[in-house]
Amino acid sequence: MQSFRTELENPIVEQDIIDLEKKIRLFREGKIHDEKFRSLRLARGVYGQRQPGVQMVRIKLPFGKVTFKQLLRIADVSDEYASSNLHLTTRQDIQIHYVSLDRTPQLWADLEKDDVTLREACGNTVRNVTASPTSGIDPTEPFDVSPYAQGVFEYLLRNPVNQDMPRKFKISFSANDDDTAFSFAHDLGFIPKINANGERGFKVLLGGGLGAQPILANMVNEFLPEDQLVPYIESTLRVFDRYGERNNRNKARLKYVIQKLGLDEVLNLIQQERIANKVKSYKINTEAVAVPALPEPIEFGEVAVSDPFRYEQWLATNVFEQKQKGYYGVYIKVETGDIPTDKARKLVALLQPLAGDEIRVTQNQGLLLKYVRKEAFPTLFNGLAELGMAAPGFDSVADVTTCPGTDTCNLGISNSMTFARVVEGLIYDEYEELIYNRDIKIKISGCMNSCGQHSMAHIGFHGSSLKAGTKVLPSMQVMLGGGVVGDGVGRAGDRVIKVPAKRATDVLRMVLNDYKANSVENEVFHGYYDRQGKDYFYQMLKPLADLTTLKDEDFVDWGHVEEYEKAIGVGECAGVVIDLVATLLFESDEKLEWANQSFNGGAWADAIYHSYNVFINSAKALLLDKGINSSTQAGIIREFDAQYVTTGELALEGSFNDLVLQINKNEPSEEFATDYKAQAEAFLAAVKTKREAILQS
């Protein structure tokens, strides 16, 4: 791994990659427990695939921004290490598949040469910070949220407060009240506002999430001043880390902490954590996301458009004028979010003389180009058409969002990718007028976990299965009525009915035909759905759920020829719980080392938080010896007092609660960092002595 030292300029990144290589080696030698290693690699964007022996690697692109050079670098990496394909995700990342675990350190090093990271793209961390792709060029935005998304990403990357949380944590920034970044579906969602004094701030949405049980976020602040954005996020993460569920991953999101403790109590706890924050006010560098390099003006002359009819449709659905006069944003619809690497290179070659050097990955798995001049439209359309990327109807009924499903995901129950292609083809063939309709969104997931955002779709499907006699067949759960309302308000779709997967196209036809026939003039889909009511649609679709009329084809999933067999692996959307005593004490040693490194670097708040984790890990290790596996850090603190301190088994001056929770009663000063770290070190030594005595006895 010596090449990392000589080729990478950032010593922190270099050490991160060297550490990953070292941990892979120790894992191969059987010296790191499998569950501990899983947690470590997930936090570095390396995720186990459905296919044994290979990994999916998630490349983290803050708010979906990627330059031409970075896209070419990612394409090169996919050719070298993966399957020569780039998959765009609903969180504005790019994923590559079929990667060997042993090659991931070098892959990461190659990406970092063009400032692309894997760090915290998966696992129990703050995932990619998303934002409306139009931010920076949107004519209706109060201000550009891109620098705020960038600032939050930079502040949290490698921050101790979010390295090993109960589960993943998602943050979004919408450009305006249209809420195209779906604030209501995030742990923290932000919508830009300007108050009466002309000051910048954000409307704050807290505790949303999709998954198997979608919960809409709570509006908790109409106007959070911009300098309080980062402190508020940090305080929230500290609360989630301490009170979040760690045993039952199905209850491990912030939304369940709010459900358990109540919103008022969670807000009170967030306020209490402010004293411990690294910063009390944080100024975002609003110049951090510069205007991209623009192409030189070109005299195009007369350019014959290859398909005039499609061109007019494309102009009407995929092009809009930016707030920067004379420039236009252009959307590219990407079928199922997949771009082969050879096509990606041709795309960059086409775009370099025609658009600004900044592409945004969109939440519906497409691309947004910026700073295109009107006179470049015919040339751009012709080039995109040659690449098969000029389809009209971006973000319309014909633009279907989907997760990878059973193609590569461990949790996939039925196929979503092929089904999405079939649905798009159906729209273009039978309902072409709907390519102008952006009111209705169709979204598909391969399971109930909503990676394809099915629960916030007007018409949503998620993979499932049905039993017919002794046989199992692939099915789709139909969900209707979800979607964005605006300004932080959203809707979760209703579960209406489950049908065999091959009949899901008939579901779509029946719903769209009924909408055309029975909606009143200018009635949006939400109004139509609410007026008719859930039972209306259940009764309409009920014949499609009749399992007495099954055909042989119903037992074969979309995209397959063999009979369906339900096979679900172990999901890795977040690291699993590590309960081995020895592993926990090993982690305590590691966290104490990190505390010392942070302290020596003058990072008092980081040193304090690492020391806090020394207390928690060490206490959990001893509790496991008594068969007590508390599901939250707050529970560990409480149980340790009850099992060890009150009983006198481990002597402390005062309670463990008072010792540990000094963290949220003191400013993060050098003096407190010195004392707290020393106390953590002494506690770890006492725990090791106690543990040794237990083993001896």
Residues 470 and 418 in one domain: yes
Task: Please state the rounded mean pLDDT for residues 659-678.
Answer: 97
Task: Please state the rounded mean pLDDT for residues 69-98.
Answer: 97
Please identify, among 230, 260, 276, the residue that sits at the C-terminal boundary of a domain: 276
Model confidence at 406, in pLDDT bands (50, 70, 90)? Answer: confident
Spatial contact of 423 and 502, defined as CB atoms under 8 Å apart: no
Q: Which pLDDT does position 580 carry in this prediction?
A: 65
Q: For 48-52, 235-239, 320-324, 423-427, which range has the lowest pLDDT when averaged over its residues?
A: 48-52
- Whether the predicted pLDDT of 575 surpasses 60: no
Residue 664 resides in a domain: yes
Please identify, among 261, 276, 291, the residue that sits at the C-terminal boundary of a domain: 276
Please identify, among 253, 276, 299, the residue that sits at the C-terminal boundary of a domain: 276
Residues 154 and 86 in one domain: no
Q: Which pLDDT does position 23 carry in this prediction?
A: 85
Give the domain extent around 637.
581-696
- Whether the predicted pLDDT of 573 surpasses 70: no
**Sign of the torsion formed by the C-alpha atoms of 129, 134, 140 and 146:** positive
Distance, in Å, from the CA atom of 18 to the CA atom of 106, rounded to the nearest integer, reads: 9
Strands annotated E in 349-440: 359-361, 367-372, 401-402
Q: What is the pLDDT of residues 275-313, one digit of tens each?
A: 999 999 999 999 999 999 999 989 988 999 999 999 999
Task: Please state the rounded mean pLDDT for residues 103-109.
Answer: 93
Spatial contact of 605 and 280, defined as CB atoms under 8 Å apart: no
Q: What is the pLDDT of residues 476-519, one digit of tens each?
A: 999 999 999 999 999 999 999 999 999 999 999 999 999 999 99
Residue 42 resides in a domain: yes
Domains in the chain: how many in total?
Answer: 5
Residue 563 resides in a domain: no
- Whether the predicted pLDDT of 168 surpasses 50: yes
β-sheet bridge partners, residue 328: 321, 372
- Whether the predicted pLDDT of 444 surpasses 60: yes
Residues 163 and 98 in one domain: no
Higher pLDDT among residues 419 and 47, named by residue: 419
Residue 668 resides in a domain: yes
* DSSP letter (8 states) at residue 204: E
CATH number, residue 173 = 3.30.413.10
Residue 292 resides in a domain: no
Residues 465 and 426 in one domain: yes
Q: What is the pLDDT of residues 14-23, one digit of tens each?
A: 888 988 898 8
Which of 462, 465, 467 lies closest to 507, judged by CA? Answer: 462
Residues 524 and 617 in one domain: no
Model confidence at 571, in pLDDT bands (50, 70, 90)? Answer: low
Residues 588 and 544 in one domain: no
Residue 394 resides in a domain: no
Task: Please state the rounded mean pLDDT for residues 369-374.
Answer: 98
- String of DSSP letters for 438-503: -S--EEEESSTT-TT-GGGSSEEEEEEEEEETTEEEEEEEEEES-EEEETTEEEPPEEEEEEEGGG
Model confidence at 574, in pLDDT bands (50, 70, 90)? Answer: very low
Distance, in Å, from the CA atom of 454 to the CA atom of 443, rounded to the nearest integer, reads: 5
Q: Which pLDDT does position 2 carry in this prediction?
A: 44
Residues 157 and 260 in one domain: yes
Q: What is the pLDDT of residues 456-475, one digit of tens each?
A: 999 999 999 999 999 999 99
Residue 95 resides in a domain: yes
Greatest Cα pair distance in the chain: 90
Q: Which pLDDT does position 4 carry in this prediction?
A: 52
Task: Please state the rounded mean pLDDT for residues 520-534.
Answer: 96
Residues 683 and 624 in one domain: yes
Q: What is the pLDDT of residues 598-652, one digit of tens each?
A: 999 999 999 999 999 999 999 999 999 898 999 999 999 999 999 999 999 999 9
Q: For 133-142, 255-264, 350-359, 397-406, which range has the lowest pLDDT when averaged over its residues?
A: 397-406
What is residue 85's three-state secondary structure?
strand
Which value, in Å, is the radius of gyration of the alpha carbons in the chain?
Answer: 26
Residue whose entry in the numeric block shows the structure tokens 């990627």: 66
Residues 549 and 673 in one domain: no
CB atoms within 10 A of CB 154: 16
Residues 195 and 258 in one domain: yes
Residue 370 resides in a domain: yes
Task: Please state the rounded mean pLDDT for residues 329-338.
Answer: 97
Query: Percent of the chain beyond pLDDT 70?
Result: 97
Buried b (16+ CB within 10 A) or exposed e, 493-505: bbbbbbbbbbbbb
Q: Which pLDDT does position 6 carry in this prediction?
A: 45
- For β-strands 401-402 and 442-445, DSSP reports them as parallel
Q: Which pLDDT does position 225 carry in this prediction?
A: 98
Buried b (16+ CB within 10 A) or exposed e, 572-588: bbbbbebeebebbbbbb
Residues 365 and 432 in one domain: no
* DSSP letter (8 states) at residue 69: H
Residues 160 and 241 in one domain: yes
CATH number, residue 691 = 1.20.120.330
Indicate the average pLDDT of the chain: 93
CATH number, residue 350 = 3.30.70.3340
